[in-house]
Structure 1
Amino acid sequence: MGKPTGFLEFERKTIADRDPIQRLKDWNETHEGFDEGKLREQGSRCMDCGTPYCHTGMTLANMASGCPVNNLIPEFNDLVYKGRWKDAYERLMKTNNFPEFTGRVCPAPCEGSCVLGVIEPPVTIKNIEQSIIDKAWAEGWVQPNPPATRTDKKIAVVGSGPAGLAAADQLNQAGHRVTVFERADRIGGLLMYGIPNMKLQKEVVNRRVQLMEDEGVTFRPGVEIGKDLPARQLLDEFDAVVLCCGATKPRDLPIPGRELGNIHFAMDFLGPNTKEMWDVREGKGSQFSELAKGKNVIIIGGGDTGTDCVGTSLRHGCESVSQLEIMPKPPMERAANNPWPEWPKVFKVDYGQEEAAAVQGEDPRQYLVTASKFEGDEDGNVKAIHVHDVEWVSENGRFMPKKVEGSERVLPAELVLLAMGFLGPEATIVEELGLEQDARSNVKAEYGEFRTSIDKVFAAGDMRRGQSLIVWAINEGRAAARECDRFLMGSTKLP
């Protein structure tokens, strides 16, 4: 612990964001560059508390508490404070394959369980993590490190999101021959097509994928298992299969008018937007369609996906954007039933809401509101949405939303985006292989073992646990790789 009084001397300061109006003119990341001197001050705020809940990776009240990949946070904070950046990078890579991803898009449950956060604003762990890996790339410390020896085992990983990439990276380091199958035309899964460029620049994804390729991983984009290639063929050609296909079945809103045009699931809006952008940049396309341009946009659902829809719609040049949330507005501070070190369920303003407020003069979110009907125009496209307020009441021991009479109103909407979460994995591979599923339709495989009901088939990430955080996906990909290696070799040295 380099500076015992750091948390008393310095206030929490995060990396500054670019001006909201200015950043709406491009698709670049929202953050400014980092200042090493200020980051060293922030690193000194870490208390070396002796009970570092920040890296425990527990689940409390069904939410992450602490870092699910068990990053050695007090250690790299101290190394940054001391200016030992390369040592901090090496310490960080012991636990996290992709800190450039988590440092940008993880909601930082580590900060929610920071001991300093009991009495003061927590340490800026997420900013420090991103800064360490970004400096490592800039300094050339990140170099290909292929395994010294190879086994005779071949493994197929299906899905190239964070779980699939983590599993592939670990299994490759164990010396196995790893092939990653991805149905999209580019590698990265939700990292590529689920998260907009202003949160995670795709150059950041591409350089990591290239590094893995240089280390010996084979990537096969544009191949959908179960359609382009039978899933059972993988069982014949590979010694093991690790399924990391995600929970990509979206939750629908079956109300009158749902069949109208210009009502889309959020990912059907965000994914094509990124694809078009990169097609144009790489000379594979010449047109970038701005679906939200000039339209009144209504986003149904909150969370990160809803925020991404807000930011994307604004960059298209929408007429207006509103976000409807059926839940009440969170409190400004922890409620009594949400104690530390649980994830703090408090009101936050993310980049999309900040941008909307800068353009429209107010936060785009409307709380305790739900939709009852879509109204169409003469061409069969949506033109309005009927909504009403709700209150949450207890019925037979369960809280249910109840309509507030007299609160009905109609909102103009030429584009509606459904961002209400996901229900589980798609059925194609599950049905072909006859995989056993749990009550929530996820592939059944015990955490810690990751074996499915089919011999030599493993499952990890959202496909197994349901919709969750990127950092949990990396945790599961690493752990599934360890168990897959143990299955193939009888023992494992993977962490």
Structure 2
Amino acid sequence: MTEHMQQFVRLPQQPPQKRGVVERREDFGEIYREFDQAGAAAQASRCSQCGIPFCQIHCPLGNNIPDWLKLSAEGRLEEAYEISAATNTFPEICGRICPQDRLCEGNCVIEKGFESVTIGAVERFITDTAFEQGWVRPIRPRRERAQSIGIIGAGPAGLAAAEALRRQGYQVHVYDRHDRMGGLLIYGIPGFKLEKPIVERRRLWLEDGGIQFHLNQDIGGALSFEALRGRHDAVLIATGVYKAREIAAPGSGLHGIVPALDYLIASNRKGLGDDVPDYDSGLLNAAGKRVVVIGGGDTAMDCVRTAIRQDAASVTCLYRRDRANMPGSMREVTNAIDEGIEFTWLAAPEAFLGDDHVTGVRAVRMHLGLADASGRQIVEPVAGSSFTVEADLVIKALGFDPEDLPGAFNEPGLALTRWGTLKVGSKDFMTALPGVFAAGDIVRGASLVVWAIKDGRDAAAAMHQYLEQSASFATAAE
């Protein structure tokens, strides 16, 4: 331990400055300004270097947070980057979009009384600096292997696996249905949380390392799953989950009620300069409209904050629990409130009003009751408490379910769990098909990007072991 650390007793928490509310509502740029080196070092020095680092324990990736905070405080940023990148494929992305208030920062031992170390902001600063200084070097395997791996899905799980497998020298090919790599990083998460050049920078890095991308691929259609398996020695399915959960309420089929992901993809595509007819027609554009978003997770927060930037006349978020029980990041809720979003807590939709087009949401007040088996309080409607919220656009942000992959891929051999996710071995990530693995949300269910990265890295290790054993058996048989 050095004199640089344990400065929480004299230095207050000071996150990077936010842009003003009026300014940031005018565009989709990230709302946080950059740390300078002195500011990052000062905030890193607040770390207590505790004997049991709960920040690290509660990070899905087990990032060596106290180590790179200490190095940052000492100005040893290149070393800090090496430590950070050793456990995390995309630290600059996690530093921007992880709900640190629920993970590392929320479990910082100085959080009670002194406020937590600004872990996410320092993490982002370290890797952004590493890119600027040329410390982020291309993947260069020590030896090339002839074995080829196909990865279906260019989201965080697939990309994390691709990077890990390429470092082992495998010939890695990534297939995706979209015309850009990144999955939800590029199309689902708005620019005010993650600017798209950050994702593009990683694409160039992965390509420079020898990973090949095959975009606009219709797996199960123009390219059969069987044919794809024939091209590669092993396959990883990392498609994520995209099927929107529906609302079982009268009027849910009215025009003007749209899924959250359709809305976010349209906005992101427009920002990327694409032609988006449904945005231009107004179907997926909130401009001038009374918008109601239903849900309380991070996707709902992305939707309400996008709508306010599209000059919506008003934006209301309906959530059936209270603020303390929202599943999304409290930081994002605070940002949304600052930007003028109205929250109607303890309210759930009963019906959607209108003839052909939605004109309002009839909602009912909810009451929090006893805890269920999961530990969360159950919600119960309050009799006679119905009220109406006027709306021209309703966005459903109730979460996502898996698509029917056995049907989409025309591969009935892919076994499913009772939740519709792919069934894999608890340790080897292999599906019911030999040499076919799966990872990320398509196995775990809708979750955080950081969990997808962990699953991708773990699946890559299991695939490497499988291919090594396969090669050994082949050699022994000769």
Q: Which TM-score applies when normalising by structure 2? A: 0.91
Q: CA deviation at 1:149?
A: 1.9
- For 1:351, the aligned partner's letter is N
- 2:451 alignment partner, one of 455, 472, 475: 472
2:304 is aligned with 1:304: no
Take 1:285 and 1:263, find their aligned partners in 2: how far apart are those partners?
A: 18
Kept after mapping to 1: 8 A contact 2:269/2:276: no
2:331 is aligned with 1:355: no
After the TM superposition, which residues 30-429 of structure 1 pair with which residues of structure 2 at under 5 Å, given as runs? Answer: 30-56=31-57, 66-108=58-100, 109-280=103-274, 289=280, 291-330=285-324, 349-356=333-340, 363-377=341-355, 380-394=356-370, 400-427=378-405, 428-429=407-408
Instruction: Report sequence identity in percent.
Output: 36
- For 1:78, the aligned partner's letter is K
Provide the residue aligned with 1:453 in structure 2. Answer: 432
Take 1:345 and 1:98, find their aligned partners in 2: how far apart are those partners?
A: 20
Q: Secondary structure at the match of 1:391?
A: strand
Return 319-328 or 387-396, whichever deviates more. 387-396
Residues 353-374 of structure 1: per-residue CA shift (max 9 Å, x gap): 3212xxxxxx521111011111
Residues 465-492 of structure 1: per-residue CA shift (max 9 Å, x gap): 1111111100000000010011001399
Residues 71-93 of structure 1: per-residue CA shift (max 9 Å, x gap): 11111000110011111111111
2:462 is aligned with 1:483: yes
Take 1:468 and 1:373, find their aligned partners in 2: how far apart are those partners?
A: 28
Q: CA deviation at 1:145?
A: 2.8
Residues 270-293 of structure 1: per-residue CA shift (max 9 Å, x gap): 01211122135xxx6899636101
Q: Secondary structure at the match of 2:174?
A: strand
- For 1:41, the aligned partner's letter is A
- For 1:201, the aligned partner's letter is E
Q: CA deviation at 1:375?
A: 1.1
Take 1:261 and 1:448, find their aligned partners in 2: how far apart are those partners?
A: 46
2:408 is aligned with 1:432: no
Residues 270 and 286 of structure 1, relative CA distance in 2, 3 Å threshold = closer
Kept after mapping to 2: 8 A contact 1:376/1:384: yes
2:20 is aligned with 1:19: yes
Show structure 1 runs of 5+ residues with no match: 57-65, 333-342, 357-362
Kept after mapping to 2: 8 A contact 1:310/1:353: no
Q: CA deviation at 1:38?
A: 1.7
Residues 330-361 of structure 1: per-residue CA shift (max 9 Å, x gap): 189xxxxxxxxxx99978734333212xxxxx
Take 1:491 and 1:91, find their aligned partners in 2: how far apart are those partners?
A: 32
- For 1:355, the aligned partner's letter is E
Take 1:424 and 1:286, find their aligned partners in 2: how far apart are those partners?
A: 27
Residues 357-416 of structure 1: per-residue CA shift (max 9 Å, x gap): xxxxxx521111011111124xx1111111110113359979543221231111110000
Q: CA deviation at 1:308?
A: 0.7
Return 396-405 or 204-213, whichever deviates more. 396-405
Q: Secondary structure at the match of 1:115?
A: coil
Take 1:331 and 1:227, find their aligned partners in 2: how far apart are those partners?
A: 42
Provide the residue aligned with 1:28 in structure 2. Answer: 29
Q: CA deviation at 1:425?
A: 3.9
Aligned-CA RMSD value? 2.4
Kept after mapping to 2: 8 A contact 1:248/1:426: no
Q: Secondary structure at the match of 2:411?
A: helix
Residues 326 and 186 of structure 1, relative CA distance in 2, 3 Å threshold = same
Q: CA deviation at 1:120?
A: 2.8
Q: Which TM-score applies when normalising by structure 1? A: 0.88
Kept after mapping to 1: 8 A contact 2:320/2:346: yes
Provide the residue aligned with 1:339 in structure 2. Answer: none
Residues 344 and 120 of structure 1, relative CA distance in 2, 3 Å threshold = farther
- For 1:142, the aligned partner's letter is V
Residues 121-162 of structure 1: per-residue CA shift (max 9 Å, x gap): 111111110000011111122232322321111111000110
Q: CA deviation at 1:224?
A: 2.4
Q: How many residues align?
A: 462
Q: CA deviation at 1:454?
A: 0.9
Q: Secondary structure at the match of 2:272?
A: helix
Provide the residue aligned with 2:474 in structure 1. Answer: none
Provide the residue aligned with 1:10 in structure 2. Answer: 11
2:422 is aligned with 1:443: yes
Q: Secondary structure at the match of 1:313?
A: helix
Take 1:126 and 1:397, find their aligned partners in 2: how far apart are those partners?
A: 32
Kept after mapping to 1: 8 A contact 2:219/2:409: no
Kept after mapping to 2: 8 A contact 1:159/1:180: yes
Residues 365 and 229 of structure 1, relative CA distance in 2, 3 Å threshold = same
Q: CA deviation at 1:211?
A: 0.8
Take 1:304 and 1:397, find their aligned partners in 2: how far apart are those partners?
A: 24
Q: CA deviation at 1:238?
A: 0.8
- For 2:16, the aligned partner's letter is I
- For 1:385, the aligned partner's letter is V
Show structure 2 runs of 5+ residues with no match: 472-478
- For 2:368, the aligned partner's letter is W
Kept after mapping to 2: 8 A contact 1:29/1:198: yes
Take 2:253 and 2:5, find their aligned partners in 1: how far apart are those partners?
A: 61
After TM superposition, which residue ranges in structure 1, 4 or more long, deviate above 6 angstroms? 284-288, 343-348, 395-398
